[in-house]
Amino acid sequence: MENTMFPVKWCGNERVSAEQNSEAISRVFPSGISRLARSFHQQIPGYQISPLKSYPHLAAMLGLGGIWVKDESQRMALNSFKILGGSYAIYRVVKSILGFDHEEIPFTQLTSSEVRAKLGGITFAAATDGNHGRGVAWAAHVMNLRSVIYVHKFTSKARIDAIASYGADVRVVDGTYDDAVRQANIDAQQNGWQVISDTSWEGYEDVPRWVMQGYTTMCSEIQEQLAGQGIVKPTHVFVQAGVGALAASVIGFYHQLFGTNDPVAVIVEPDKAACLYHSAKLGDGQPHSFSGDLDTIMAGLACGDPSPLAWSILRDCADMFLSCPDYVAAKGMRVYGVPLKGDPFIVSGESGAVTLGALMFIMERPELADLRNKLGLDRKSQVLLINSEGNTDPNHFRRVVWDGAEPVPSEYKEYN
């Protein structure tokens, strides 16, 4: 019988070696797109490069050459990378409406009264676990446009309040995140709203593609920051996944830049919402839904339906899929919050910390030696992690970090 509490379940991707040139990469991430996305983001008031933090002492303890953490908790005071995708997608939608598909327009023009008059009463709609909706609401607010954001019934009041603080009409759906996605689309069709979603479906790919392209600003920043440390690229990238948009963006960026010499790509999901791991296990190359109530502390990753657009990239280019219980993310939060002497402190939310937790278990558990070897993790490895969110749910954050919620089971504790 499978041990459901084991810290890491894993599934290799047999397709990755057969796909030397991914058509999906070329379609979603054409040459130069990250430069255009970053050029847009640099015009947004308050834009700054988020920090890339080094963990040399933890890396040495784990037997790695280096651990690098892109800290998106400091992204434009919004506590998450999601603003990059939502804002860029709205920008591209507005450009399309105005007939500027093949030319760039400055941010100041985008927020002008003239543009608002041309757009009329446009409303942006989105479904969210919290961070994506907050980013869409913020971008709409900056342009003085209306937004309607759909959340599922497990969404915390803190996340709802953060979205509403930007003037959004927040609607709670009695169901999961995937139910919220469906309801947002139904209502948008009935009301003539523009859906800004990070997940795709048949006939709806442009906006999710623009969202994913927006995320590459983060990756181009990382490459600049690594270059400043004399590192050409990471050897390994661990990326958390919900519908897969962030993971596909990071992996797509590196594959477009380095081809088959790209970093070893590892996808990490909660075991209660492991739609990509489940799809990889089935092995037919198709995306598959993951059933259940998706009740994980990793709210930003609580997705049961993969984005087909993101899956087309992960199917071709991801090396390994991992599934982890909630205590893995909780451990990562605590390690970020109480680092080894000389390593930096990071405020990391549940969805932001699971990759660190997974990496630590892989490097420390003897039962995972085979996975460690398959990934080639050793003292030459330079591992990139992304802290995708900060403290977006203060009450739950304190339950984990202060009160010790979701403790590591005694049989998997390294330090008793």
Q: CB 365: neighbour CB atoms within 10 A?
A: 16
Please tell me the distance from the alpha carbon of residue 12 to that of residue 148, in angstroms, as a whole number. 39
Burial of 286 (0-12, 13-18, 19+ CB in 10 A): exposed
Q: Give the containing element (helix H, strand E) for 401.
A: helix 394-401
- Which of 168, 177, 179, 94 minimizes the C-alpha distance to 135? 168
157 is catalytic: no
Q: CA-based angle 241:352:16, to the nearest 5? A: 30
The answer to whether 326 and 297 have CB atoms below 8 angstroms apart is yes
Fill in the amino acid letter for 276.
Answer: L
Please tell me the distance from the alpha carbon of residue 371 to that of residue 374, in angstroms, as a whole number. 5
Fill in the amino acid letter for 203.
Answer: G
The residue to which tokens 């800004």 are assigned = 196
> Which of 53, 70, 82, 95 does the annotation list as catalytic?
82
β 52-54/169-173 pair status:
unpaired
* DSSP-assigned beta bridge partners for residue 383: 67, 236
> Which of 71, 129, 198, 326 does the annotation list as catalytic?
129
Q: CB 99: neighbour CB atoms within 10 A?
A: 9
DSSP 199-255: S-BTTB-HHHHHHHHHHHHHHHHHHHHHHTTT-SS-SEEEEE-SSSHHHHHHHHHHH
- Which of 125, 175, 182 minimizes the C-alpha distance to 153? 175
Burial of 290 (0-12, 13-18, 19+ CB in 10 A): buried
129 is catalytic: yes
DSSP 261-318: GSPEEEEEEETTS-HHHHHHHH-SSS-----S----S-GGG--SS--HHHHHHHHHH-
Please tell me the distance from the alpha carbon of residue 333 to that of residue 395, in angstroms, as a whole number. 14
Catalytic residues: 82, 129
